[in-house]
A = this chain, B = another copy of it.
Amino acid sequence: MAKKNQLGVTPLSEDVSAWYNELVFKAELADRGPAKGTMVIRPYGYRIWELLQSQLDQRFKDTGHVNASFPLLIPMSYLQREADHVEGFAPELAVVTHGGGKELDEPLVVRPTSETVIGEMYSRWISSYRDLPVLINAWNNVVRWELRPRIFLRTTEFLWQEGHTAHADEDEAMEETLRMFDVYVEFALNVAAIPMVKGEKTPGERFAGAVRTFTIEGMMQDGKALQSGTSHYLGQNFAKAFDITFQDENNELQHVHTTSWGMSTRMIGAVILAHGDDAGLVLPPRLAPIQIVIVPIGRGEQAEAPLAKCRELAAQLEGLGVRAHVDDRDASPGFKFNDWELKGVPLRVELGPRDLEAGHVLVAQRVGERDDKGRPVKETVEFEEFVTGAPERLDAYHDQLVARATAFRDERSGVADDWDTFAELVGRGFAYALHCGEPSCEDDIKAETSATPRCISTEDGFAGEGTCIRCDRPSVYGHRVAFARAY
Contacts and interface: CB of A to CB of B under 8 A. Distances in A.
Interface of A: 31, 33-35, 38-43, 46-47, 49-50, 66-75, 78, 90-101, 107-108, 110, 117, 120-121, 124-125, 136, 140-141, 143, 145-147, 156-157, 159
Given A96-B96, A99-B145, A136-B43, A70 B117 contact: no
A156 B108 CA distance: 13
13 contacts: A33-B121, A34-B71, A34-B75, A35-B108, A38-B71, A46-B66, A73-B143, A90-B101, A91-B100, A93-B98, A96-B110, A97-B97, A99-B156
A141 B143 contact: no
A69 B159 contact: yes
Most chain B CB within a 10 A radius of its CB, from A92, A107, A145? A145
A98 B94 CA distance: 6
Contact of A35 (B71, B94, B97, B157): B71
A71 B94 CA distance: 14
Contacts of A97: 95-98
A73 B157 contact: yes
A277 to B, nearest CB: 26
Contact of A157 (B66, B71, B146): B71
Contacts of A50: 67
A189 to B, nearest CB: 26
A110 B95 CA distance: 11
Closest 9 CB pairs of A and B: A100-B145, A38-B71, A33-B71, A43-B66, A41-B69, A95-B98, A97-B97, A94-B99, A35-B73
A281 B99 CA distance: 34
B91 A101 contact: yes
B91 A33 contact: no
Nearest to A106: B35
Contacts of A75: 34-35
Number of copies: 2
A68 B43 contact: yes
A474 to B, nearest CB: 39
Nearest to A147: B100
B120 A73 contact: no
B72 A141 contact: yes
Most chain B CB within a 10 A radius of its CB, from A40, A78, A90? A40
A72 B157 contact: yes
Contacts of A38: 71-73
A17 to B, nearest CB: 23
A373 to B, nearest CB: 31
Contacts of A159: 69
A69 B46 contact: yes
A91 B102 CA distance: 9
Given A96-B110, A99-B93, A43 B72 contact: no
A140 B69 CA distance: 12
A225 to B, nearest CB: 25
A101 B86 CA distance: 13
A140 B72 CA distance: 11
A136 B47 CA distance: 12
A40 B145 contact: no
A55 B423 CA distance: 54
A78 B107 CA distance: 23
A407 to B, nearest CB: 34
A34 B91 CA distance: 23
A125 B25 CA distance: 11
B34 A74 contact: yes
Nearest to A265: B69
Most chain B CB within a 10 A radius of its CB, from A68, A107, A145? A68
Given A96-B96, A100-B91, A34 B78 contact: yes
A78 B145 CA distance: 21
A31 B92 CA distance: 28
Nearest to A31: B121
A192 B302 CA distance: 49
Contacts of A42: 68
